[in-house]
C-alpha cells in the first residue's frame, strides 16, 4: 500500500466528468482546487527511540531481520487510512510513526515480544493491513517513551480446514485476496468482503468486529468466529472451539472488538462455506428512501434477505448515477424508464445472491416478488454487475478527490428499524448544517448497507471543499456533529468501523460509565502495564 | 412448583408398562425398589440468620410483605431441580435454604436491595423459576453469614413491543407460558421452549444462556438478546439497543451467562417473530445414528434446517418407542415397516417447521428431499405430534422414576460436527463404565438436540438403580466420568444447562486459567464484596 493513499502505486480510479461536474456544483468548487502530497523524503519523522536492550530482546524473539525501522516502513505504520490520517500523511506529518516494526512468524514469537515490551514499558500496536479508518493503528505511546508496531504480515497461513464442520483455523495476517484464493482451492469461501478487502487481514477484521459487503448473508465477522487464540502480556488465552456453549460469559466476545488493547489475536477459527457456483446481482429502484427501507425490512424479516442488500438514499443515488454515467443510449433509456415510472427522484438498491444455481434461483425469485410487492422496480443485472466490479473502488477514488482538494469521509451506524429514518435524517442534517456553517456546503449521501431482523446499518459519505490549512478542524466539526447526532437519535457510534481514537470519547455514551469500567478491569488484568495499543478504544480517564 | 419435584401437585406423568418392563430388564431392577419423600414439616431447615438491620433495609426497599421467610418459601428456594437437588430435598435436607426471600417489584427496587446486601455482607441469589439443573440457585453463602434469594416473580411485565423492529422489552420474572400468552395477543412469539418452559423465566434464560427445543430455528436465547439492563452492587449497566455494533467488546455477552454472579438482569430486549400460523412436526427414521447425524449436518449446512431438529440414538429410540407404545395395530404395523426397511435397530428423528403456511410447505418440502436423499424414512406426522404433546413431560416422569427408586439425570454438550460421533461414543461409554462398575448397570441414551452450521449439541439421559444411602456418591461418580469424557473428546462442558456449582470446577478447562482470571476481574469490579451468587460459575480459588 502506498504510504500517502490507497492501493499500490499506479492503481487509480478516475472521476468521470459527469460526476466531477455534479460535485463542482454541489460543493461550490471553482475547479481550480488542488491537493498535493509531499515526497517520502520530506515526511517529518521523529527520531527512533527504542531502547537498545529492548531492540535486542525483540531481535532475539523474531530475528534481527524482522525488527525494522526504515523510513518507508515507519511512515507506512504511522497511521491508518482515515481522512485525517491521509491529510496528515500527505502534508508530511508522520509523528504517529512507531520507533520500530516487529514482524513475528508465529504465536510463539508473539509471546516474548509482548513480554519484552511489557517489561520495558514500550507500547505495542498490533498492525494487520493498516486500513483502520478510526485511528486504530497510529503508534500512540500513552505514558510510554517508545512504541513498536507488531506487524502480523508473516503470520499468513491457513493452519487447518475442517471440512465436516465447515471451519478454518487461520493466522491473523492473512489478507482478503490471499485467504479467498487459498480457501477457493479447497472449494470454500469466507464470504467476508469489507471495502478494505484487498488490504485488510483476518486478525484486523476480528479485532475490530468488521462487517463485509455480503455480511447480510454471510454474517458479520463476529458471527463467523468459532474460536480464538490470543496472546496478552500476561499469557495466552484460548476459547473453546464449540458451535455454542452455556459455559459462562463469552470470552470470545470480550476479545473480539478489543482492537489490540487487551492482547493480540494469533489464531482465529472461522466458519466458511462452499464457494458459490452462482452469483446474481441485480439493481432495483424505489420511489422514495422510506419505501426502499420498508421493502428491505419486509424482505429481511420474511427470511428472504439476499447476501448483499444495499439501498442508496436520493443523494447517493444521484451521485452513483453520475459516477456510472456513460451517456450511452442504454443509459438514457434507463433514465427515461425511471422518469416514466415516477422514480426520477428515486432510490437505487442492489441485491446480490450467491450459492448453488438452484439456491440462487429460488432465493432471488422469492426476494423479487417481495420487492415488487413493496414497490420496487427491477433494473436488471447491469447495475448489479457494475456495483460488483466497483465494490472496492471508493478508497481509490478518495485519493483522486483529495488530489482535487475535496474532503471525503465516511461514517456509519446501526439502529433498530423503528429509528432508522430518524437517524438518517438527523445525521444527514447535522453534517449539512455543520459544513454549510463553515462556508463549505457538502454533499451528504447515505446507504443502508446491512440488514438484521431488528434493524439495519446506515453508511454515510460526505464531501466538501477542503478548508486549506484547517482541514483537520473542518473534519473535527463535521465528525463531532455526526457523532452527536448518532447518539441523540438512537444509533450506535459504529456498526463496523470500530472505535480506535475517533470514537473512544463516545464509549461512555455507548456502554455507560460502568461498562467502560468493566472494560478497564479486563484490560488491567490482561495488560497491567498498559502497553497494548494505548489511547485506543477506551477514553482517557 | 411443588417443593420436592416438578410441576404442581397432582400433575404427573405415568410410566407405561412396556417402558417399565424395559427399564426393569436394563437396570437390573427387582421391581420392589421405592423412593419416598419426607413431608414438608419434616424437612431440616437451618434457623434464619438474616441480621435485623438488613431485614429492615430490605423491607424498606421492597415493602415488609415482600420479605418472606415461611418454611415453604425457604424450602422452595433451597435448591434447583437437578437430580442431587431432588435427592436432598426428598430426603429432607434443605440446608441450602436462604434466610429470607426478597421480591422486588422493579429494577428501581433491586438497586437498594443489592446495596444493602453488599454493605451488610449478605449473599444475594437471583431466583427466577428455580429450575436450574446445575446447582445455580442454591443459597450458598460463600464467606458470608447470611443469604437472601432475590425472587424476580413480581417483575413480570412486557414493558414495550417494537413491532417494526420485532423486539420486545421484558422484565426478567416473566415465565414462559405467560410471556407467550402476552406476545400471542400481539400476534408474536419468542419461540423459546426449553424443557423447563412452564416454570422458567426470561431472566433465568438469559443469565444461563438457555436454548429451547426450537432453537435450531428461532436461535438460542443468547442469539435473541438485543439489549440488557442489569443492576450490580456498584450500579446499573445497560447495553445499547442496536442490531449490531463494532463499539468494542460486547458487554451484553459478558452479562449473558454470568448466572447472577456479576449482577441481576432487570430488563431484556429480545427479538420476537410473528406467531406461526402453521406447524408441521414429522417423524423420521435412519438406519444408524451416524447416518442420521450426517443427514442433519447436510440439512443444516444446506440452509434447510427445520426449527426443531432432533435425532435419538439407538438406545433413546428404543426407550422412546417403549414409552410411546400402545400395542395398537398401527403401532405393530409401523414396527413391521421399519423392520422391512432394515431400520429395526434404527434411530428416530423429529423435524418441526413453524411459520406461515407457505413457508412451512416450502421449507419442509426442501428438507424432506434432503433427508430422503440422505437415507431417511418419513414416519409421517403422528410421531411428530406425539413428541410435541410430550415435549415438557420428562421432568414429571423423573418424579415417577424417583418414586420407583431409579436415578435419572441428564447432561449435555456441543461439539464440531467432525467430533460429534466421538463425543457421543466417549461420553456414553464413560457413563456406562462408571455405573456398571458400581454394580448399577445403566441405560444411557442420547439425542442430537440443536443444529449449527459448525456442529451440534448432544443431550444425554442416564438411568440406573439408585444406591440407597449413597445416591449422591453414585451420581458424583457418573457425572464426573461424563464431564471428564466431554472435556477429553472435545465437547464444551455445557451447551445449555449452564455452569452453576456442578460445572464450576470445569471452567478452567473450558476457558483456561487466564480466562477464569478475566471473569474474576469483571466480578471484582461489579461485585467487590462478593455477595452475588457465591460459589457459582467460578471455581474456588
Chain B residues whose beta carbon lies within 8 Å of the beta carbon of residue A244: 211, 220, 414, 450, 452, 455, 457, 492, 495-496
Q: In what order do the strands lie in the sheet with A455-465?
A: A377-380, A278-286, A347-355, A308-312, A443-452, A455-465, A406-416
The CA distance from B13 to B399, in Å, is 8
Of B164, B237, B417, Cβ closest to residue A165: B417
Q: Which of A67-76, A339-348, B169-178, B312-321 shows the lowest mean pLDDT across its residues? A: A339-348
Chain B residues whose beta carbon lies within 8 Å of the beta carbon of residue A246: 208-211, 257, 492, 494-499
Co-location of B302 and B381 in the same domain: yes
Co-location of B171 and B265 in the same domain: yes
**pLDDT score at A326:** 66
Co-location of B282 and B269 in the same domain: no
User: Is A451 contained in some domain?
Assistant: yes
Co-location of A219 and A261 in the same domain: yes
Residue B520's Cβ-count burial label (10 Å; 0-12, 13-18, 19+) is middle
CB contact under 8 Å between A248 and B519, yes or no, is: yes
**pLDDT score at B444:** 98
**pLDDT score at A339:** 82
Q: Are A372 and A295 in contact (CB under 8 A)?
A: no
Co-location of A318 and A334 in the same domain: yes
Q: Are B37 and B4 in contact (CB under 8 A)?
A: yes
Residues of chain A with pLDDT > 90, as a percent, come to: 87
The CA distance from A513 to A518, in Å, is 9
Residue B358's Cβ-count burial label (10 Å; 0-12, 13-18, 19+) is exposed
Chain A: residue nearest B513 by CA? A237
| pLDDT tens-digit readout, B431-474 | 999 999 999 999 999 999 999 999 999 999 999 999 999 999 99
pLDDT-based confidence at residue A48 (cuts at 50, 70, 90): very high
Residue A328's Cβ-count burial label (10 Å; 0-12, 13-18, 19+) is exposed
The CA distance from A405 to A407, in Å, is 7
Name the minimum distance, in Å, from the CA of B337 to any CA of chain A: 32
Residue A413's Cβ-count burial label (10 Å; 0-12, 13-18, 19+) is buried
Which of the pair, A286 or B12, is modelled with greater confidence? Answer: A286
C-alpha cell at A60: 532475539
The CA distance from A407 to A83, in Å, is 8
3-state secondary structure of A249: coil
User: Is B309 contained in some domain?
Assistant: yes
| pLDDT tens-digit readout, B204-255 | 999 999 999 999 999 999 999 999 999 999 999 999 999 999 999 999 999 9
| pLDDT tens-digit readout, A186-197 | 999 999 999 999
CA-to-CA separations, A91 to A134, A422, A462, in angstroms, rounded? 19, 38, 21
Chain B: residue nearest A497 by CA? B246
Chain A residues whose beta carbon lies within 8 Å of the beta carbon of residue B520: 525
If we measure between CA atoms, which residue out of A216, A376, A371 comes closest to residue A298?
Answer: A371
Domain containing residue B180: 158-274
Say how many C-beta atoms besides its own lie within 10 A of residue A159's C-beta.
12
| pLDDT tens-digit readout, A298-318 | 999 999 999 999 999 999 999
If we measure between CA atoms, which residue out of B120, B119, B211, B228 comes closest to residue B171?
Answer: B228
Residues of chain B with pLDDT > 90, as a percent, come to: 87
B234 touching chain A per CB within 8 A: yes
Q: Is the pTM above the cut of 0.80?
A: yes
Over residues A413-426, the mean pLDDT reads 98
CATH number assigned to the domain comprising residue A150: 3.30.43.10
User: Is B355 contained in some domain?
Assistant: yes
How far does chain B reach from its first CA to its final CA, in angstroms?
Answer: 35
Mean pLDDT computed over every residue of chain A: 95
The CA distance from B515 to B517, in Å, is 5
- Domain C-terminal end among B346, B361, B389: B389
Name the one residue in this structure whose C-alpha cell is 455480511: A215
Of A273, A301, A518, Cβ closest to residue B166: A301
| pLDDT tens-digit readout, A218-239 | 999 999 999 999 999 999 999 9
Co-location of A385 and A441 in the same domain: no
Q: How far from the centroid of its chain's Cα atoms is residue B159's Cα?
A: 25
- In sequence order, which residues have a C-beta less than 8 Å from that of residue B248 and are 6 or more positions away? A257, A258, A259, A498, A499, A507, A510, A511, A519, A537
Alpha helices in A129-220 (DSSP H): 176-185, 202-208, 215-218
The CA distance from B305 to B310, in Å, is 11
**pLDDT score at B333:** 75
A384 touching chain B per CB within 8 A: no
Of A208, A456, A521, Cβ closest to residue B522: A521
Co-location of A267 and A286 in the same domain: no
CATH number assigned to the domain comprising residue A478: 3.30.300.330
Name the minimum distance, in Å, from the CA of A452 to any CA of chain B: 6
User: Is B127 contained in some domain?
Assistant: yes
Name the minimum distance, in Å, from the CA of A295 to any CA of chain B: 12
Residue B72's Cβ-count burial label (10 Å; 0-12, 13-18, 19+) is exposed
- Domain C-terminal end among B389, B411, B427: B389
Interface list for A 413-452 with B (CB within 8 A): 414-418, 450, 452
pLDDT-based confidence at residue A331 (cuts at 50, 70, 90): confident
A359 touching chain B per CB within 8 A: yes
Q: How far from the centroid of its chain's Cα atoms is residue A39's Cα?
A: 27
Interface list for A 502-531 with B (CB within 8 A): 503, 506-507, 510-512, 514-515, 517-522, 524-526
A457 touching chain B per CB within 8 A: yes
B411 touching chain A per CB within 8 A: no
Exposure class string for B380-396: b at 16+ Cβ within 10 A, else e: eeebbebbeeebbbebb
Chain B residues whose beta carbon lies within 8 Å of the beta carbon of residue A239: 511, 515
CB contact under 8 Å between A418 and B164, yes or no, is: yes
Co-location of B260 and B295 in the same domain: no
Chain A: residue nearest B255 by CA? A249
CB contact under 8 Å between B490 and A232, yes or no, is: no
Per the structure, the count of domains in chain B is 4
Name the minimum distance, in Å, from the CA of B425 to any CA of chain A: 18
Give the A:B interface size as CB pairs under 8 Å.
280
Whether A31 shows a pLDDT value over 90: the answer reads: no
User: Is B502 contained in some domain?
Assistant: no
Co-location of B303 and B318 in the same domain: yes
Residue A194: φ, ψ to 5°? -65, 165
Over residues B82-111, the mean pLDDT reads 97
pLDDT-based confidence at residue B1 (cuts at 50, 70, 90): confident
Chain A: residue nearest B451 by CA? A243
User: Is B20 contained in some domain?
Assistant: no
The CA distance from B423 to B482, in Å, is 10
Co-location of A283 and A377 in the same domain: yes
**pLDDT score at A540:** 86
3-state secondary structure of A422: helix
- Domain C-terminal end among A134, A154, A174: A154
Whether A416 shows a pLDDT value over 90: the answer reads: yes
**pLDDT score at A17:** 87
Chain B: residue nearest A208 by CA? B246
**pLDDT score at B501:** 98
Name the minimum distance, in Å, from the CA of A369 to any CA of chain B: 14
User: Is A518 contained in some domain?
Assistant: no
pLDDT-based confidence at residue A324 (cuts at 50, 70, 90): confident
Q: Return the H-helix or E-strand segment holding B290.
A: helix B289-301
Mutate to test the interface with A, among B165, B204, B247, B262 (most CBs of A within 10 A): B247
Of A452, A506, A524, Cβ closest to residue B244: A452
CA-to-CA separations, A340 to A282, A288, A375, in angstroms, rounded? 20, 15, 15
CB contact under 8 Å between B248 and A518, yes or no, is: no
**pLDDT score at B351:** 97
Query: Rounded to the nearest 5 degrees, what angle is found at the Cα of B533, between the Cα atoms of B527 and B536?
Result: 110
Q: Are strands A122-127 and A146-151 parallel, antiparallel or unpaired?
A: parallel
User: Is A401 contained in some domain?
Assistant: yes
CB contact under 8 Å between B248 and A490, yes or no, is: no
Co-location of B167 and B252 in the same domain: yes
Chain A: residue nearest B273 by CA? A301
A532 touching chain B per CB within 8 A: no
Co-location of B143 and B173 in the same domain: no
Of A238, A455, A498, Cβ closest to residue B243: A455
Mutate to test the interface with B, among A233, A243, A497 (most CBs of B within 10 A): A243
- In sequence order, which residues have a C-beta less than 8 Å from that of residue A484 and are 6 or more positions away? A430
C-alpha cell at B472: 449422591
Name the one residue in this structure whose C-alpha cell is 453508511: A459
A317 touching chain B per CB within 8 A: no
CATH number assigned to the domain comprising residue A379: 3.30.70.3450
Whether A58 shows a pLDDT value over 80: the answer reads: yes
Over residues B136-145, the mean pLDDT reads 96
pLDDT-based confidence at residue B326 (cuts at 50, 70, 90): low
C-alpha cell at A362: 429460488
Amino acid at each position: 500500500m502506498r504510504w500517502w493513499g490507497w492501493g499500490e502505486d499506479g492503481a487509480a480510479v478516475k472521476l468521470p466528468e459527469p460526476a466531477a461536474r455534479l460535485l463542482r456544483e454541489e460543493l461550490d468548487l471553482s475547479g481550480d482546487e488542488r491537493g498535493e502530497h509531499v515526497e517520502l523524503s520530506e515526511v517529518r519523522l521523529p527520531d527512533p527511540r527504542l531502547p537498545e536492550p529492548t531492540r535486542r530482546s525483540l531481535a532475539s524473539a523474531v530475528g534481527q531481520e524482522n525488527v525494522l525501522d526504515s523510513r518507508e516502513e515507519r511512515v507506512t505504520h504511522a497511521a491508518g487510512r482515515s481522512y485525517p490520517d491521509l491529510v496528515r500523511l500527505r502534508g508530511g506529518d508522520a509523528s504517529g510513526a512507531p520507533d520500530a516494526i516487529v514482524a513475528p512468524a508465529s504465536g510463539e514469537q508473539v509471546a516474548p515480544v509482548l513480554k519484552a515490551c511489557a517489561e520495558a514499558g514500550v507500547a505495542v500496536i498490533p498492525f494487520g493491513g493498516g486500513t483502520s479508518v478510526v485511528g486504530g493503528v497510529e503508534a500512540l505511546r500513552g505514558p510510554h517513551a517508545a512504541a513498536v508496531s507488531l506487524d502480523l504480515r508473516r503470520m499468513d497461513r491457513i493452519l487447518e480446514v475442517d471440512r465436516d464442520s465447515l471451519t478454518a483455523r487461520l493466522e491473523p495476517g492473512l489478507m482478503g485476496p490471499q485467504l479467498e484464493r487459498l480457501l477457493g482451492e479447497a472449494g470454500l469461501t469466507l464470504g467476508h468482503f469489507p471495502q478494505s478487502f484487498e488490504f485488510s487481514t483476518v486478525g484486523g477484521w476480528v479485532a475490530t468486529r468488521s462487517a463485509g459487503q455480503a455480511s447480510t448473508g454471510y454474517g458479520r465477522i463476529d458471527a463467523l468466529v468459532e474460536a480464538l487464540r490470543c496472546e496478552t502480556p500476561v499469557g495466552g488465552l484460548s476459547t473453546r472451539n464449540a458451535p455454542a456453549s452455556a459455559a459462562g460469559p463469552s470470552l470470545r466476545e470480550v476479545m473480539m472488538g478489543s482492537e489490540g488493547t487487551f492482547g493480540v489475536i494469533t489464531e482465529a477459527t472461522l466458519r466458511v462455506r462452499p464457494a458459490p457456483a452462482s452469483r446474481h446481482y441485480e439493481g432495483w429502484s424505489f420511489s422514495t428512501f422510506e419505501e426502499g427501507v420498508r421493502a428491505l425490512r419486509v424482505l429481511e424479516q420474511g427470511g428472504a434477505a439476499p447476501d448483499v442488500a444495499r439501498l442508496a438514499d436520493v443523494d447517493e443515488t444521484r451521485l452513483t448515477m453520475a459516477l456510472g454515467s456513460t451517456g450511452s443510449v442504454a443509459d438514457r433509456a434507463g433514465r427515461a424508464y425511471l422518469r416514466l415510472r415516477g422514480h426520477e427522484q428515486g432510490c437505487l438498491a442492489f441485491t446480490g445472491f450467491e450459492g448453488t444455481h438452484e439456491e440462487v434461483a429460488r432465493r432471488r425469485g422469492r426476494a423479487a416478488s417481495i420487492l415488487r410487492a413493496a414497490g420496487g422496480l427491477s433494473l436488471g443485472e447491469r447495475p448489479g454487475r457494475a456495483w460488483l466490479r466497483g465494490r472496492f473502488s471508493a478508497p481509490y477514488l478518495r485519493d483522486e478527490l483529495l488530489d482535487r482538494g475535496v474532503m471525503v469521509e465516511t461514517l456509519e451506524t446501526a439502529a433498530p428499524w423503528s429509528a432508522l429514518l430518524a437517524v438518517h435524517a438527523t445525521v444527514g442534517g447535522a453534517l449539512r448544517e455543520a459544513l454549510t456553517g463553515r462556508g463549505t456546503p457538502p454533499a451528504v449521501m447515505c446507504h443502508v448497507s446491512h440488514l438484521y431482523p431488528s434493524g439495519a446499518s446506515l453508511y454515510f459519505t460526505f464531501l466538501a471543499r477542503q478548508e486549506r490549512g484547517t482541514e483537520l478542524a473542518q473534519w473535527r466539526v463535521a465528525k463531532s456533529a455526526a457523532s452527536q447526532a448518532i447518539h441523540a437519535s438512537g444509533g450506535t457510534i459504529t456498526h463496523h468501523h470500530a472505535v480506535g481514537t475517533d470514537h473512544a470519547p463516545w464509549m461512555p455514551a455507548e456502554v455507560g460509565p460502568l461498562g467502560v469500567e468493566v472494560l478497564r478491569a479486563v484490560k488491567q488484568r490482561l495488560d497491567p502495564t498498559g502497553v497494548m495499543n494505548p489511547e485506543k478504544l477506551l477514553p482517557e480517564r
